[in-house]
Each structure stands twice: as C-alpha cells, then as structure tokens.
C-alpha cells in the first residue's frame, strides 16, 4: 500500500526536476556577468578590430581589417645603399643646421618606410609646408614636408625668439610670406646636403620647384604609386619638429641598381681605389720579352747526334722579320740590327690587341658568378 507522502508519478517529479534545472542555470549565470544579454563592443575595441588604433598610429603599424585591406601594398625590395645615404645626410645636416641656426641642433633618422602616395597625402596634418623639388638628372620630382611645429620653431629661432618648451599652435591662419621665406632657406640647406649625400653614389641636382600649403596641390605621383618615406627628427634644445622626405619609386628608378648594393663598389671594376692600385702595379710590373729568329722541328735522333761545330740551317733571309713574344703571347714583329756593341730589334708593327674586349670579359665573369 503506497504512502500518502510519496510523490505522485508524473506531476511532482517533473516539477522537482524543473526546479533543479533552474537552480543549475542560476548558479552558472551567477559566475558570468551580463549572461544572457548580447554584449556590445565599445569604441576602442571596434577601432582595434578595424585597425584604427588611434590618430597617432604609424602608417606601417596597421592591424585588423585595415591591414587586410591594405595588403595590396606591394612589398618592395630593401635598398641598403639608401639607408647609408640618409645616414650620411643626418651627419651633414647636423653640422649645417648648427651653423645655420647658431644653436645646438640634433638631427636623427626616425624611420625609412614604403607607403602609398595617396595614403601619405591624406595623412598629412594641417597646417604644413610642402616643398616640391625636382631631381634634374633623374628627371622626376620629390616632396619635403615640414610640420607646423618645426616651421614655427625655425621662425622663432631665426627671428631671435626666447627659448621655451611651450609651443603656441596657430590654427586657422595660413603662413605669411616672411614665414614661408624663412622656412625655404632651411629647405634649400636640406636639399644641398641631400645632393652631397647622394654624390658618392650618383651626382644629382635638387631644386625647389614650388611651395604649397595644401596637400592636394602637391601631387607629384598617382595615389596608388609607391614611394619611400624618410622621417627626420630635428631638435633644438626644447624646440623642433619633424621633416619628411618622400621619394617616389619612379624618381629613384635610374639608380635602383646602385641602391641595391650592400657597399660602395660592390660590382666588379667600379672601385676607383682598386683601379688606381691595379694600374700602378701593372705599370711597375716586369715582363720578359723574347726575340725569336726562327723555330723548326727536328727528330730526336738528329738532336741527340749534334756535336760541337755542327751547323743548323735556318730557312730565312737576313732581312726576315723577328717575332717578339712574351711567354706564349705574340706581341709584335721587328727587324734585327746593331746599335753600338749590342744587338737591337726595331719594332715595325704595333702591339697586337687582345681578341677579348673588356665588355666580353665582364660578360664572361658575370656568367661564371651566376653558375
């Protein structure tokens, strides 16, 4: 006989199971904040996901979806000699700006990167001064960007302003003619030192074509074209700023082979120091020259039977030419005679040139190196 307190089959057992299930879900929900509610991303997480980490993010430090979109950017080969050129520019510019400003100036190379021209133009903050310069020998253009911090620092130093770490930003006002002229004097100095930096590699003359304050008017290449961006930092005891040099790849294409070298004179025959040394040693070298009257072949039996007083007949006349040889190489021909007490040879023909030219020798050497 069943007890009255026993749970009825079906109804009460299902209710108890439902209570246990509710308790387990409540316990699990208590350990997870905002469980059961769709979690929304804040603005910082959205920016990180899309690749816009902040306004000050560098052009080459892109992540997220932005890095995927910009993956079409061609990865260009490294140019070791270009880094050496701009390291030399830093040393030259440090000395020149110290003399120009009559102050302690420190120039440092911040970075050398590859960017798209359109992306760089859109990222330039305003106000700024843009100098479009022309490379005469390369028949193309380049761009120099002077940020507002450096521009006002240059104006302040040249006009005798006091040293102060506080920088007063002047927004909404274009640069005056005097301010532009003062900054142009510094830009002329930068281009002169850039010419000296490139001179050991390739002589070039850089001239300012025009100055612009609107990036839209400083278009020297198509937006999708790639360019080399060189960032220089100029510090003048609490004042200063950055200057950026943009060289499209089309501009440096005439010297691309030279920029691919790891050191000066890497290719054969292009080191002037080695050429001068080799030429000096060649001029001082001694060579033995033989004058051969006649050559013939005799059987070994006849050679072994020769005795003192035997006569060998040469098939030649007294005025027959004498061959001049250096080792196995035939140099020229001449006639034998006498000068004082010595037998002399008068050269009648110019020295024979080698059948292999220097260009053919270089081509043969390059093929051997490739193998």
pLDDT in tens, the chain (371 residues): 444 444 445 556 667 667 767 766 665 555 444 444 456 777 777 777 666 655 444 445 555 555 555 544 445 557 778 888 888 889 999 899 888 888 888 888 888 888 888 888 888 887 888 899 998 888 889 999 988 888 888 888 888 766 655 555 555 567 788 888 888 898 999 999 998 888 888 888 988 888 888 888 888 888 888 888 889 998 887 778 889 999 888 888 888 888 877 665 445 445 677 778 888 888 888 888 888 888 888 888 888 888 888 888 777 777 788 888 888 888 888 888 888 888 888 888 887 776 666 666 666 666 655 55
**Of 304, 292, 296, 280, whose CA–CA distance to 345 is shortest?**
292
pLDDT of 163 reads 62
pLDDT of 61 reads 55
Please name each of the domains of the chain with its CATH number: 43-72 (no CATH), 80-259 (3.40.1550.10), 286-296+314-370 (2.30.330)
Whole-number Å distance between alpha carbons of 91 and 84: 11
* Helices (H), ranges, the chain: 11-30, 43-50, 64-69, 80-101, 117-123, 148-158, 177-198, 256-259, 272-284, 300-304, 358-370
Q: How far apart are the first and last CA of the chain?
A: 103
Q: Answer yes or no: are the C-beta atoms of 130 and 228 closer than 8 Å.
A: no
pTM: predicted TM-score of the whole model, two decimal places: 0.53
pLDDT of 56 reads 46
- The residues that bridge with 342 in the sheet, in sequence order, are 339
- The residues that bridge with 343 in the sheet, in sequence order, are 338
pLDDT of 219 reads 84
DSSP 133-167: EEETTTTEEEEEEEEHHHHHHHHHHHTTPPP-S--
Structure tokens at 113: 């990167």
Whole-number Å distance between alpha carbons of 112 and 302: 81
Return the ∠ at Cα 238 (arms to 235 and 240), rounded to 5°: 40
Which residues fall within 8 angstroms of residue 347, CB to CB, at 6 or more apart? Answer: 324, 332, 333, 334
Return the ∠ at Cα 187 (arms to 246 and 196), rounded to 5°: 80
Whole-number Å distance between alpha carbons of 326 and 76: 52
Residue 73: exposed, middle, or buried by beta-carbon count in 10 A (0-12, 13-18, 19+)?
middle
Structure tokens at 260: 């691919």
Structure tokens at 359: 């260009």
User: For the chain, what is the total number of helices (H) and then of strands (E)?
Assistant: 11, 10
């Amino acid at each position: 006989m069943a007890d009255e307190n026993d749970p009825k089959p079906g109804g009460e057992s299902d209710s108890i199971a439902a209570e246990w299930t509710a308790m387990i879900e409540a316990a699990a929900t208590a350990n997870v904040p905002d469980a059961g509610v769709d979690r929304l991303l804040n603005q910082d997480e959205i920016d990180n996901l899309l690749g816009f980490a902040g306004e000050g993010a560098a052009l080459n430090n892109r992540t997220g979806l932005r890095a995927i979109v910009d993956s079409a950017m061609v990865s260009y080969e490294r140019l070791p000699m270009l880094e050496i050129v701009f390291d030399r520019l830093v040393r030259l510019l440090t000395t020149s700006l110290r003399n120009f400003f009559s102050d302690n100036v420190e120039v440092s190379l911040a970075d050398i990167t590859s960017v798209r021209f359109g992306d760089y133009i859109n990222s330039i903050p305003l106000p700024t001064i843009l100098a479009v310069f022309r490379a005469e020998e390369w028949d193309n253009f380049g761009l120099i960007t002077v940020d507002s911090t450096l521009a006002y620092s240059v104006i302040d130093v040249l006009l005798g302003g006091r040293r102060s770490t506080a920088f007063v930003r002047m927004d909404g006002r274009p640069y005056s003619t005097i301010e532009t002229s003062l900054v142009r004097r510094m830009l002329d100095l930068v281009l002169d030192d850039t010419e000296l930096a490139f001179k050991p590699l390739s002589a070039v003359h850089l001239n300012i074509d025009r100055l612009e304050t609107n990036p839209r008017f400083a278009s020297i290449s198509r937006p999708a074209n790639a360019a080399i961006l060189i960032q220089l930092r100029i510090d003048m005891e609490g004042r200063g700023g950055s200057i950026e040099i943009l060289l499209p790849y089309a501009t440096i294409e005439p010297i691309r082979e030279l920029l691919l070298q790891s050191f000066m004179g890497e290719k054969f025959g292009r080191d002037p120091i080695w050429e001068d040394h080799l030429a000096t040693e060649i001029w001082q070298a001694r060579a033995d020259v033989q004058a051969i009257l006649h050559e013939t072949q005799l059987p070994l039996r006849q050679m072994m039977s020769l005795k003192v007083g035997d006569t060998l007949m040469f098939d030649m006349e007294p005025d027959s030419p004498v061959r001049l040889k250096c080792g196995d190489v035939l140099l020229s021909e001449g006639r034998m005679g006498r000068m004082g007490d010595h037998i002399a040879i008068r050269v009648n023909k110019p020295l024979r040139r080698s059948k292999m030219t220097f260009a053919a020798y270089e081509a043969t050497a390059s093929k051997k190196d490739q193998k």
